[in-house]
Structures are given as C-alpha cells and as structure tokens.
Amino acid sequence: MSKLPEEYKFIDLSDCRRPIARLITNSLKKTSYMPIAVARWFIISGLIGVVYILWVLFGGGFFFNV
C-alpha cells in the first residue's frame, strides 16, 4: 500500500490472487454467464468447502448422530 506512511505499511496477501482473478474474469467476459451466476458458484463452492472441513474435523459425526 503505497499511500500509507512507512510505519503503517503491511503486506496484502489478496494481491497474490489478482492475476488468477483477472484470468477468470477475462475468460468469462464474452460468455453468457452473468455475475450472479458466478456469485452462486462461489457460494456453492464455499459451502462444499465448509462441509468438507467439518467432515474432516468431526469424522462425519455431525451428519450421522449414532
């Protein structure tokens, strides 16, 4: 962040993924996909990730209360 004074500068890790995001957005520019569809897929993939993390942490016990 070049606008900040030296004592307040930090490393922004979100800048690492910008080239990948640009690649994805440029590849979707001339398609029929709408932004809401991309957002829905992002939400679905996030929910799948949460379920997988819970499955690994609890061994599937939260799905099958035995």
The better pLDDT of the pair 58, 22 is held by 22
- Domain assignment of residue 19, yes or no: yes
- Domain assignment of residue 1, yes or no: no
pLDDT tens-digit profile of 9-51? 887 777 677 788 888 888 988 899 888 998 999 999 999 999 8
pTM of structure: 0.56
Q: In this predicted structure, what is the pLDDT of residue 1? A: 44
- Domain assignment of residue 26, yes or no: yes
Q: Is 28 exposed, middle or buried (0-12, 13-18, 19+ CB in 10 A)?
A: middle
- Domain assignment of residue 63, yes or no: no
What's the structural domain count of the chain? Answer: 1
- Domain assignment of residue 65, yes or no: no
1, 12 contact by CB (below 8 A): yes
